[in-house]
Amino acid sequence: MNILMCIPTRNRAEMVKEVLEYEMEYYKRCGVSLCYYDSSDGEETWKVIEEINSKYSADIQYRRSDPALCLDYKLIEILKDMEKEDYDYLWLINDSISIKEEMLEYVSGISEGGYDLIRLPLAGKGAAEDVVTTDPNEWFHECSQGMAHMASTVMNFSLLRQARHDWDWLREKYVGNNELDDNHGYFFMVAFYLEQILKLEHFTGIFIGNRIKWRRDSPLKKRQIYWRDYVFQAWARSYPETILKLPKCYTDKEDVIRKSDNLSPGRFSRSMLIHYRLSGLYSYSVYKKYRKYFEYITREALKSCFVLAVLPQAFLRWKYANLLAVEEEWQENLNRIEEQIKGKKILIYGAGLYGEKVIQKLKSDGYGNQMIGVAVTETKGNVSELEKIPVHDIDYFVREKEEIFTIVCALPAAADEMKKELKKRKFKYSVTLFGV
């Protein structure tokens, strides 16, 4: 199959070079074509493309993009530009990531099936095996969240050539103006895919099973910076609005919104709201502007959201100093733990808040299939599953004590007791989230 990757970029020549140096050889082997849409202020990115083309005898296309356009406007311009191209599949890619060779080869193989859309898995989420659907509403429920990640969706060019589309109407409905403000859409591609598949006589999509980690992020990427600055505009308003504006044939839209990554312990958990308040991103005016969406985006009570929005920052720093320190500590520790668990069976010990957080983080980092269960010291009064992973008492896992890697997910006082339980049962490999 003839696959074209389009990559919008702006003022990140160093990262473009790093990514291309990493991926160029196997991209060429896989027969993938690349086209950069550059809205940089200078010529540094163009020079990088010329250098890579010369070094690898590549044929990377380079096109200028208007620096004044926001991302969604750029994507619309790319799609309009692509209508006349002669490829089988279009793959929009972030400039900071590379698609791993195994996934490239797999997508190239399954594309022979002529699917209208191919959705790559969210790490740790979904079934292990591929799922094919001809039902747009099923696609909506299973794939809406994932399509918010631009690189996760591969589109058949027939969607551009055969499906009728009115660019002005789509832009007005889903994007709004061209300013990086509260009216900006952010999620045009989600809306575009879901609008266009309804116009096909027959739709067939495939979402790939969660078996492999399919992306590599450039070490030069500054994580979360963009989305941090626009987190409320994008995820507290634009994503819900995009979903709610979709045609009526898409059902249970509110549930789809609630299933997004917004829910605790995600973007709008209590600890994150505190962080936003202390960094100046959250205030009473922000609360007032977005409160009608809070029922979709957070598990926190509206009253709590209000209180956090109006409390003085100095008081918050004093009141939640320990919480903020703990939040930073567990994430840093888990990053170190991940270096030890590659290829191992993972047992989560603790079914509380940090057990939930660790499971979600491990899933997002590609370790979902390695987790064999959640252990608790006493099942009475505990949940039967956590994040769809079954919960059992610690003795249930004793038979695998020589093989599994146990992560104790609790604050130090409780973790100390849990470590004693593991030692008593002679579990071979264990580590605590908070280093006790």
Contact call for residues 121 and 161 (beta carbons, < 8 A): no
Instruction: Give me 36's structure tokens.
Output: 């950069």
Distance from C-alpha of 227 to C-alpha of 94, rounded to nearest angstrom: 14
Statement to judge: residues 160 and 289 lie in one domain: no
Residue 367: give the domain boundaries: 330-432
Same domain for 85 and 210: yes
pLDDT per residue over 298-311, tens digit each? 888 999 999 999 99
Handedness of CA 217, 220, 224, 227 (dihedral sign): negative
Q: Indicate whether 240 and 118 sit together in one domain.
A: no
What is the full DSSP assignment across 316-332?
HHHHTHHHHHHHHHHHH
Instruction: Collect all residues with Cβ–Cβ distance below 8 Å to 187 and sequence separation of at least 6.
Output: 72, 148, 174, 234, 238, 239, 242
As given in the structure block, the two tokens for residue 134 are 């001809």
pTM confidence score: 0.74
Q: For residue 301, what are its two tokens?
A: 């009570």
Pair of tokens at residue 266: 């995600």
Domain boundary among 289, 319, 349: 319
From CA 354, how far away is CA 432, in angstroms rounded? 11
Separation of alpha carbons 241 and 257, rounded Å? 9
* Residue 358: partners with Cβ closer than 8 Å, 6 or more residues away: 330, 334, 348, 407, 409, 433
Same domain, 32 and 158: yes
d(CA 121, CA 110): 14
CATH classification at residue 404 = 3.40.50.20
256: alpha, beta or left? (left if phi > 0; alpha if psi -120 to 50): alpha
Is 416 within the bounds of a domain?
yes
Residue 367 token pair: 């370790």
Same domain assignment for residues 195 and 310: no
- Whether residue 211 is found in the same domain as residue 252: no
Measured between its terminal Cα atoms, the distance across the chain in Å is: 53
Domain count, the chain: 3
- The answer on 311 and 360 residing in a single domain is no
In this structure, the number of other CB atoms found within 10 A of the CB of residue 320 comes to 20
What CATH code is carried by the domain that includes residue 178?
3.90.550.10
> What pLDDT does residue 227 have?
59
Asked whether residue 226 is assigned to any structural domain, the reply reads no
- Asked if residue 228 is part of any domain, the answer here is no
The one-letter code for the residue type at 403 is E
**Distance, CA of 327 to CA of 167 (rounded, Å):** 44
Q: State which of 296, 319, 342 marks the end of a domain.
A: 319
Q: What integer pLDDT is reported at residue 178 of this predicted model?
A: 62
Q: What is the pLDDT along the chain (436 residues), one digit of tens a residue?
A: 799 999 999 999 999 999 999 999 999 999 999 999 999 999 999 999 999 999 999 999 999 999 888 888 999 999 999 988 889 999 999 999 999 999 999 999 998 899 999 999 875 556 678 999 999 999 999 888 788 888 999 999 988 887 777 888 998 899 876 654 555 567 999 999 999 999 998 999 999 987 777 888 888 876 444 556 788 888 888 899 999 999 999 999 988 888 776 543 467 888 788 888 888 889 999 999 999 988 888 888 999 999 999 999 888 888 776 666 666 677 788 888 888 888 899 999 998 878 888 998 888 788 888 999 999 998 877 778 888 899 999 999 999 999 999 999 987 778 888 999 999 999 999 998 886 4
User: Do 289 and 215 share a structural domain?
Assistant: no
Look at residue 279 in the predicted model and tell me its pLDDT.
81
Task: Find tokens 């160029």 and name the residue.
Answer: 24
The pLDDT, as a whole number, for residue 233 is 87
In a domain, 18, yes or no: yes
